[in-house]
Amino acid sequence: MLKEMEKAGMQAAHKVIMGHSLGGVGCQFYVAGSGQGKMDAMVLTGGTVLRRYRQSAKLPPTLTLDGDLDGLLRITRQAEAYFHQVAKVGGADAGVDRPVILLEGLSHWSFSSGALPSNVKKYDLRAEVGVDAGHAMIGQVVSDYLSSLFGSDSERPAAQQKIAEAVKKTGELLDPVLAALHLEGYHYLNPPCNSDYPTNPTCQYPKYPDKSLLPPAGPPKPLPPADCTCGSDWVANSAASIMAGFAQTLAVQSKLVTKDAFHDVSDVRPFHLPHIFEPQPGTACSDPAKCFINATTVTMPIYDFKDDFDTGLWPVTASEFRTKFKSREALQQAAGLADVNYTATDELNTKICQTINQAAYDWALKTASSKARDRFLKHGQPYVFVEDKKSGFGITGPTWIHDALSFTPSKDKKTVAVQSHYFPLKNKNLGDVSFIETVGYHYCKLLSPARAMEWIYVDGLKGLSTESFAEEFYGTKNDGMEMGARTETKSGAFSNFPSPLRKLRRCLLQIPRSQDRGCLCLEVCCCPGLALSANRFMVQTRFDKENTPCDDCIITGTCLFVYILDIARCFVDVPQELDFIADCLVLTVSGCMHAQQQIEINEIKKNGYQGMPMLIMNAMPPSQQLMFQKVDMHGGGGGMPPSMVGAPQPQYMQQYQPGMPPGGAPPVQISCGACRQVFGAPGRGMVVACPFCQTQNQT
């Protein structure tokens, strides 16, 4: 295109590439690939510099320009960009190479005009600035940015100052969001540390129990940087204090110092457990008012895998914290409090995790900008926190690990109920026992303050949406899918399914019975392994095929290998190489199944379907023989449609008695008298139905 423009007479001193939303992604692919060095600048609107190019020198000077109400590339993702592209490289006054500017009141569609595409209608937020005013704001920033790069000597300083002021204003707008991300320990600001192999000297996280079920995992490669995140400041400085519950006790003046570390709570190489280091296990403070307690916690933040695509459409913050605390009983006993009742403090206390989560939400509401808070309180869905639910034991241990923090919208969708799961364990001997004895713990599913902030700024404004931009609501249409909402219609049982499933059902119902390739495609895409296995079983039973010793060896070995891996995964981290080997074995078996099936199908195409062998039919109970008789009479060719196996083949057969072979004569070719289609029949002297138009034909 550039060459064509130059041939047409374009004489440009500088070349700038600009893209909106996915167009911005394409711009980055181009300038980092075949277009490297061909552009003098890049402008991303409603987009952001992808994480993969964050440290890349291939990009030219780049402006990231967006609105704070972008529902498709959320403000939390732009806060991450601001941290790396501005805050970490000297701030707004440093003349950054990749400035980030957010314009207040603009949405994703503010950079365009006209009718809303369905995706924008579904996910975007409502702009608070009109189209013309918004376009003027965008044009001014882009003009200032280009002037700051390519303007004359007299123009450049003023333009650079305007860009610096806009970047600084963006920083002030993002301060509450960045504060929440830091409090969470958001993994895309600074990577999490590994306390087993400390690299950040400020963490000072003591190991406990420093024991391993199997040989401990080796150090990560590469090691986390020296500025890695030790753990969640929210857990260490706020949640732990609420867990202790000293406020209404004689220990109210005591000092609790807690350090948190990020680890997989299922890890056993080594184990990671919360612990009270001071006072030493087996001892307690003599005076609760002057007690000093040094303890640790363990937290596992859970992030949505869809954020790995780096689109900014889905939440980027942790959906929950899986946090292990020392129990309230253990902490209060260590403080020297008398008559601590485990039943009251932990076992039947369904309010501890609830209180911590309420505090996270209250902090987010208090810290959010006044404009964002007022907008949310007027148009959003507030959280309502309900009492905790106690988790039990399952086959693989405490179900608490996988009992997710739940978010349940009310029937009128005006609020969302948040419920945590908890798992308590009674203390013993003031904690002076082997680590194998799990005593004195209280596990919680926690709401991250960053997820609460993201709800206030973005997702909490989408749940009360409608088809049009109605005045009483804020967002745009959510098509009944937000937060698992269901749409009720008069179309029957499927009306309770989300709209994509209803659309899929309508699509499948529109496929002609003789043209079921859509169903086959769905089967191939969604469950090829199950489909191949079921068809293999059908081929063996219909055609009297037996496994060879080689078949049995491969299938048994594959099943045992996958089974052992799944068991081991409950206790240790399984290397990816073993998963890869397991996948290769499964794919090999699937390929063999497919080849065997294809051989039989080719045979049917050549000679027609002769029915189930008499040996197999006679071995079946009479009820099953009758079932297959009905299938052959009314279901078509033993359940194998022509679109699957191809003509010629029989589809509707003469009735026979159980135990008789369904076909005794050589197959014949029949031309339907109505539709003229040719199909196979098992023999002469019978009436068969055409599989294409259902017309009865005499053979």
Q: Higher model confidence: residue 167 or residue 690? A: 167
489 has pLDDT over 90: no
Provide the pLDDT confidence category of residue 39 given band limits of 50, 70 and 90.
very high
78 has pLDDT over 70: yes
Q: What is the pLDDT of residue 517?
A: 58
CB 634 within 8 A of CB 652: yes
491 has pLDDT over 80: no
Query: Mean pLDDT over all residues of the chain?
Result: 84
Query: Quick one: average pLDDT of 642-661?
Result: 39
Q: Please tell me the distance from the alpha carbon of residue 99 to that of residue 88, in angstroms, as a whole number.
A: 12
Provide the pLDDT confidence category of residue 94 given band limits of 50, 70 and 90.
confident
Query: Quick one: average pLDDT of 95-100?
Result: 92
619 has pLDDT over 80: no
Provide the pLDDT confidence category of residue 676 given band limits of 50, 70 and 90.
confident
What one-character-per-residue DSSP string does 375-437 give?
HHHHHS--EEE---EE--EETTEEGGGTSPPEEEE-TTSS-EEEE-EEEEE---GGG-S-TTS
Lowest mean pLDDT among 239-248, 334-343, 392-401: 392-401
* Sheet of strand 383-385, all strands in order from the earlier edge strand to the far edge: 383-385, 416-419, 406-409
2 has pLDDT over 70: yes
Exposed / middle / buried, residue 173 (Cβ in 10 Å: 0-12, 13-18, 19+)? buried
Provide φ and ψ at 239, rounded to 5°. Answer: -65, -40
662 has pLDDT over 50: no
Beta-strand runs (E) in 222-291: 255-262, 275-278
Instruction: Please report the sign of the dihedral spanned by the C-alpha atoms of residue 206, residue 209, residue 211, residue 216.
Output: negative
Q: What is the pLDDT of residue 486?
A: 32
Q: What is the pLDDT of residue 423?
A: 97
Domain segments of the chain: what residues? Answer: 2-174, 233-461, 527-607, 614-698
653 has pLDDT over 80: no
655 has pLDDT over 60: no
Helix, strand, coil shares of the chain, percent, nearest 5, are: 45, 15, 40
Q: What is the pLDDT of residue 621?
A: 75
606 has pLDDT over 60: yes
Q: Higher model confidence: residue 43 or residue 532? A: 43
Query: Quick one: average pLDDT of 303-329?
Result: 97
- Most confident region among 393-407, 436-450, 526-540, 578-592 by mean pLDDT: 436-450
Lowest mean pLDDT among 260-264, 329-333, 379-383, 656-660: 656-660
CATH of 2-174, one of 3.30.2310, 3.30.1490, 1.10.10, 3.40.50: 3.40.50
Look at strands 292-302 and 255-262 and give their pairing.
parallel
Q: What is the pLDDT of residue 516?
A: 55
Instruction: Please report the sign of the dihedral spanned by the C-alpha atoms of residue 519, residue 525, residue 526, residue 529.
Output: positive
Query: Quick one: average pLDDT of 631-650?
Result: 43
pLDDT in tens, 427-470: 999 999 999 999 999 999 999 999 999 999 999 998 754 333 33
